[in-house]
Amino acid sequence: MKTFTKIIATSAAVVALFFATNANAQTQKLGIGIIGGIPTSDIYSVALGADLRYQFDVDKQLSIPVTAGYTNFSVKDEFGGGSFGYIPVKVGAKYFFNDSGAGVYGLAELGAGFGTNKGSGTSFVYSPALGYAWSNGLDLGVKYEGLARDGASTGYVGLRLAYGFSL
C-alpha cells in the first residue's frame, strides 16, 4: 500500500505541474524513445528501456519535460540471472544552446523509480543528459541515469533514440 500511495502522490504532482506550466507554454510535444545502456554495477550486463516524454516549451530554448517509462537491468548469470525492472517518473529542465529550439541541448531530470520486482521499493532517480534534437522530430541523447535507495546506488550510461511531435 505504501508504494501505491507514492504512485498517487507522484501522479498528482505531475498533473499539477502540467496545469501550472501549461499557462506559460507556447507549444507542447510528445516524444517516444528507446534506450540501451551499460550498467555501472558489476552484477548487471545490460540496461534496456523505453519512455514517453511530455514536454512544455517555455520558450524556444527552455523546456520542461515530464518523463515516464520502463527500464530493465539484466542480471549476469554468475549472479543468479534474472532481471531488475523499474518505472522512472521524472521532471526536469531541457535547455537548447541555440535559439532555434533544435540542435544541441542539455537536460537534467529528477524523480522516483518504482521497482517492479517484489520488495524492490522506490528509489530516487536522477538523470543528466546531452543530446541533439533535429527539427524533424528525431532526438539522439547520451545520458546517465542513477538510482539511489537506502545508501546504495546503481545506474547506467545509455543512448536514447526518440521521435517527438508537436501536440
Please report which helix (H) or strand (E) contains residue 90, including its range: strand 83-96
| pLDDT tens-digit series, residues 102-141 | 899 999 999 999 999 998 899 999 999 999 999 999 999 9
Nearest to 109 by CA among 47, 155, 151, 150: 155
pTM of the model: 0.82
Q: What mean pLDDT is reported for the chain?
A: 89
User: Among residues of the chain, what percentage have pLDDT more than 90?
Assistant: 76
CA–CA separation, 88 and 125 (whole Å): 7
| pLDDT tens-digit series, residues 37-50 | 999 999 999 999 99
CA–CA separation, 102 and 61 (whole Å): 8
| Residue written as grid cell 527552455 | 62
**SS3 state of residue 128:** strand
Residue 88 sits at the vertex; the CA angle it makes with 84 and 93, to the nearest 5 degrees, is 145
Residue type at position 97: F
CA–CA separation, 121 and 115 (whole Å): 5
CATH 2.60.40.1840 fits domain 2-166: no
CA atoms lying within 13 Å on the CB side of residue 8: 5
C-beta separation of 53 from 37 below 8 A: no
CA–CA separation, 97 and 116 (whole Å): 37
